[in-house]
């Protein structure tokens, strides 16, 4: 799945004040943020957002902008829901209010968390310590994976890429504590220094768990070496973007033959994989083979230390203050540049959203998303579909046969707006006023078992992959669906009272973006039913790739920090969706505003306001550490270029601002993928 604000969501953290900020309007086009001394044709991001550069990034943020303002407003609503539920001691056992209240209360009870210490983890930690031989790795990894803890490789259940009517078990590369493989393999001075800080972080976590300093130092070096060996066996981020190259359906015995040395039958038994599931999808066979070899080549004491580290790092946010502080010191400060930890209530709120998000969502949407808002959003989706149809129709490089197949895909593309029609059932999840980390692990186990129960059952196309309060969106190619939660359909991205210029401009990076994902370099490989299948004529594939190569070249030239360039191939899908999304949104805006009186406001024409709303929807100030983290480990390019790239590729932008010197437009400006 692709997420509009993946980077912003992971970077979004809160102010240090404990009180939630007051709810206030956020304008879709706000002249206060503009710098009209900048020529829009020279630097449109600076023109639309230049004055916002003076806004200081609060200490608890790695990035601060419009998304954080929306999050704060959403969180103010959620905070009230959580606190009200926590105060209600009479809520019936098993009710949403009881789960919400008890989860929040346990997370806010710092005294109880400190008193419990590592006791809630003792069973897992003792099992690791009691491993007698390498064969014990299989049941131990099964125990970790079923509790949402990383280790060695990843196992999960998802829709089969080549049979969208069925769920299938998957094995995938994983096991790394750093964001992705290149962090372990780069040899420049800065990267080596970062590895040194990571090694020291591992050692400090192990010391907090009771290791003597000299033992912790040795184990940290061994753990880093093991993770580095896993990293060498892993594919690059750009290579993971090829769905066909990362799809290998194998029988259970073929998995065992491929990855010899690891007890796969015992692992499958440990996660309760049904015997009826005779096949699995292996994403990266060479990684699984290398992992299995490492289970025998690496001494058992090193594996024990590594698994302890996986448990401790995966639960640090639910443990005492010292664990939280150390986890934040590395991942929050070293990697992201944040100076302070977000307030505790917001940390617990985010955990509750992951654990029982649809319990919270039922109460959130009653306050934040009206039926009228849902109706207008659905109308906007309709006009975006009409615009995409026109774009396909007008594509001179696409054959009629492929166009007809593209129309079928577009016509069957489903849009989920606001909130689910059927809410998730958490009745089997036991949440109590007990040590916080016990509730966190219980929720992870529940989610793992819920997903395992999908195997052998029809795919539930009504299920949502995000909670309603999430400020984000996605396109799922296997289901050929877009999802727009109520949490992102908030001002300034969407305002049921705003005019079309503002709404369509601000949502260009959401509706248009996610719709275009259905036809980007990855999404175009899935047919109208969501199956990974060749449905393009070979000549059309070649023409598409020729145009996509121009986008790679255009974005490769962007330089967020001196010497640090955007990886155009790594971010290709998101860049196509940004470019195509803006084009589709502009056409949808024209279709929606037919016959309407369009007004100039603050000296800005309707078309100009459309583009400014688009740009101001990205206004964000970012710390350099966070910027570097994103460029090296994310498929989304930095904020500034998510504005500059798309507008410079759209002729309507040049017309709106009367840009005369079209000779300076980038090569990709002639691209017409969509």
Strands 249-251 and 474-476: unpaired
Confidence band, pLDDT 50/70/90 cuts, at residue 661: low
Confidence band, pLDDT 50/70/90 cuts, at residue 474: very high
**What's residue 528's pLDDT?**
96
For 193, residues 6+ apart whose C-beta sits below 8 A from its C-beta are: none
Summary mean pLDDT of the chain: 93
**Dist CA 674 CA 659 (whole Å):** 23
Q: What is the mean pLDDT of residues 24-52?
A: 92
**From 395-399, 411-415, 666-670, the region with the lowest mean pLDDT:** 666-670
Q: What is the mean pLDDT of residues 582-600?
A: 94
**Dist CA 596 CA 575 (whole Å):** 32
- Tens-place pLDDT, residues 206-241: 999 999 999 999 999 999 999 999 999 999 999 999
Q: What is the mean pLDDT of residues 354-370?
A: 95
CATH level 3 topology of 123-318: Neutral endopeptidase; domain 2 (1.10.1380)
CA of residue 668 relative to chain centroid, distance: 27
Is the pLDDT at 663 greater than 50? The verdict is: no
Numbered ranges of CATH 1.10.1380.10 in the chain: 123-318
Class of domain 2-15+32-78+347-424+463-670: alpha beta
Q: What is the mean pLDDT of residues 577-581?
A: 96
**What's residue 26's pLDDT?**
83
Q: Please, which residues bridge with residue 3 across strands?
A: 474
Is the pLDDT at 671 greater than 60? The verdict is: no
Q: Please give the backbone phi and psi of residue 622, each rounded to the nearest 5 degrees, phi first.
A: -130, 135
Give the single-character DSSP code of 421. S
**What's residue 3's pLDDT?**
36
Look at the pTM and tell me if it is higher than 0.75: yes
% of the chain residues with pLDDT over 90: 92
Which of these, 437, 484, 439, 485, lies nearest to 313 by C-alpha position? 437
Is the pLDDT at 19 greater than 50? The verdict is: no
Q: Look at residue 160 and give its three-state secondary structure.
A: strand
Q: Please, which residues bridge with residue 280 across strands?
A: 169, 250
Confidence band, pLDDT 50/70/90 cuts, at residue 497: confident
- Tens-place pLDDT, residues 152-202: 999 999 999 999 999 999 999 999 999 999 999 999 999 999 999 999 999
**What's residue 674's pLDDT?**
58
**From 73-87, 354-368, 496-510, the region with the lowest mean pLDDT:** 496-510
- Tens-place pLDDT, residues 93-110: 999 999 999 999 999 999
Numbered ranges of CATH 3.40.390.10 in the chain: 2-15+32-78+347-424+463-670
Q: What is the mean pLDDT of residues 469-492?
A: 96
Sheet architecture: strand order including 163-173? 153-160, 163-173, 279-282, 249-251
Confidence band, pLDDT 50/70/90 cuts, at residue 667: very low
**Residue pointed to by tokens 């966070």:** 626
**What's residue 24's pLDDT?**
52
Strands 279-282 and 249-251: antiparallel
CA of residue 464 relative to chain centroid, distance: 14
Helix, strand, coil fractions of the chain, as percent rounded to 5: 55, 10, 35
Query: What would the DSSP string read from start to end of 27-80?
Result: -SS-GGG--TTS-TTT-HHHHHHGGGGGSPPPTT-SEEEHHHHHHHHHHHHHHH
**What's residue 216's pLDDT?**
98
Confidence band, pLDDT 50/70/90 cuts, at residue 28: confident
Is the pLDDT at 20 greater than 50? The verdict is: no
Which of these, 353, 40, 6, lies nearest to 179 by C-alpha position? 6
Q: What is the mean pLDDT of residues 576-586?
A: 96
Q: What is the mean pLDDT of residues 8-24?
A: 36
The answer to whether 481 and 475 have CB atoms below 8 angstroms apart is yes
Q: What is the mean pLDDT of residues 113-125?
A: 97
Is the pLDDT at 669 greater than 50? The verdict is: no
Is the pLDDT at 478 greater than 70? The verdict is: yes
Q: Look at residue 155 and give its three-state secondary structure.
A: strand
E strands, 215-302, where?
249-251, 279-282
Confidence band, pLDDT 50/70/90 cuts, at residue 496: confident
The answer to whether 535 and 527 have CB atoms below 8 angstroms apart is yes
CA angle 649, 653, 657 (to 5 degrees): 140
CA of residue 170 relative to chain centroid, distance: 19
Which of these, 561, 559, 562, lies nearest to 645 by C-alpha position? 559
């Amino acid at each position: 799945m692709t997420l509009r604000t993946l980077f912003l969501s992971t970077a979004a953290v809160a102010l240090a004040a404990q009180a939630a900020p007051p709810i206030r309007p956020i304008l879709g086009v706000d002249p206060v943020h503009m710098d009209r001394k900048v020529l829009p044709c020279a630097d449109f991001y600076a023109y639309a957002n230049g004055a916002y550069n003076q806004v200081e990034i609060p200490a608890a943020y790695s990035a601060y902008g419009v998304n954080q303002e929306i999050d704060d407003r959403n969180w103010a609503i959620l905070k009230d829901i959580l606190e009200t539920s926590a105060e209600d001691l009479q809520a019936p056992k098993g009710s949403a209010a009881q789960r919400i209240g008890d989860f929040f209360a346990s997370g806010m009870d710092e005294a109880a968390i400190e008193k419990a210490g590592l006791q809630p983890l003792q069973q897992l930690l003792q099992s690791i310590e009691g491993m007698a031989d390498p064969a014990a790795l299989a049941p131990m990894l099964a125990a970790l994976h079923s509790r949402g803890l990383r280790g060695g490789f990843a196992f999960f259940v998802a829709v089969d890429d080549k049979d969208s009517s069925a769920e299938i078990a998957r094995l995938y590369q994983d096991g790394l504590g750093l964001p992705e493989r290149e962090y372990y393999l780069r040899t420049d001075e800065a990267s080596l220094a970062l590895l040194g800080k990571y090694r020291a972080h591992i050692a400090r976590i192990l010391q907090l768990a009771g290791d003597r300093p000299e033992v912790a130092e040795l184990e940290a070096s061994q753990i880093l070496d093991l993770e580095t060996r896993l990293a060498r066996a892993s594919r690059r981020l750009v290579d993971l973007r090829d769905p066909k190259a990362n799809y290998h359906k194998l029988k259970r015995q073929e998995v065992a033959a491929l990855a010899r040395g690891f007890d796969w039958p015992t692992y499958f038994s440990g996660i309760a994989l049904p015997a009826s599931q005779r096949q699995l999808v292996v994403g990266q066979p060479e990684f699984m083979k290398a992992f299995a070899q490492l289970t025998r080549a690496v001494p058992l004491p090193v594996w024990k230390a590594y698994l302890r580290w996986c448990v401790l790092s995966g639960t640090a946010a639910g443990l005492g203050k010292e664990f939280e502080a150390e986890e934040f010191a590395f991942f929050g400060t070293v990697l992201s540049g944040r100076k302070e930890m977000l307030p505790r209530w917001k940390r617990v709120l985010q955990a509750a959203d992951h654990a029982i998000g649809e319990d919270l969502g039922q109460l959130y949407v009653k306050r934040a998303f009206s039926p009228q808002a849902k109706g207008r959003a659905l109308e906007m989706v309709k006009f975006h579909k009409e615009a995409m149809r026109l774009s396909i129709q007008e594509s001179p490089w696409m054959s009629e046969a492929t166009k007809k197949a593209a129309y079928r895909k577009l016509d069957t593309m489903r849009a989920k707006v606001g909130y689910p029609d059927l809410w998730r059932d958490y009745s089997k999840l036991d949440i109590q006023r007990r040590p916080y980390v016990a509730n966190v692990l219980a929720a992870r186990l529940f989610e793992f078992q819920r997903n395992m129960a999908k195997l052998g059952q029809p795919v539930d196309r009504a299920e949502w992959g995000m909670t309603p309060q999430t400020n984000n969106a996605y396109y799922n190619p296997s289901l050929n669906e877009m999802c727009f939660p109520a949490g992102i359909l908030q001002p300034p991205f969407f305002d049921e009272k705003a005019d079309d210029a503002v709404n369509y401009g601000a949502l260009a990076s959401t509706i248009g973006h996610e719709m275009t994902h259905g036809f980007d370099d990855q999404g175009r490989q899935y047919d109208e039913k969501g199956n990974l299948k060749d449905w393009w004529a070979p000549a059309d594939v070649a023409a598409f790739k020729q145009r996509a190569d121009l986008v790679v070249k255009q974005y490769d030239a962007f330089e967020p920090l001196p010497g640090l360039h955007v990886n155009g191939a790594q971010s290709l899908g998101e860049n196509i969706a940004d470019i195509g999304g803006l084009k589709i949104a502009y056409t949808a805006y024209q279709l929606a505003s037919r016959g309407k009186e369009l007004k100039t406001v603050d000296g800005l024409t309707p078309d100009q306001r459309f583009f400014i709303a688009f740009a101001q929807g990205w206004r964000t100030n970012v710390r350099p550490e966070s910027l570097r983290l994103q460029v090296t480990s994310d498929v989304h390019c930095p904020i500034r270029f998510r504005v500059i790239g798309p507008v410079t590729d759209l002729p309507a932008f040049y017309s709106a601002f009367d840009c005369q010197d079209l000779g300076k437009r980038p090569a990709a400006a002639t691209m017409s993928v969509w």
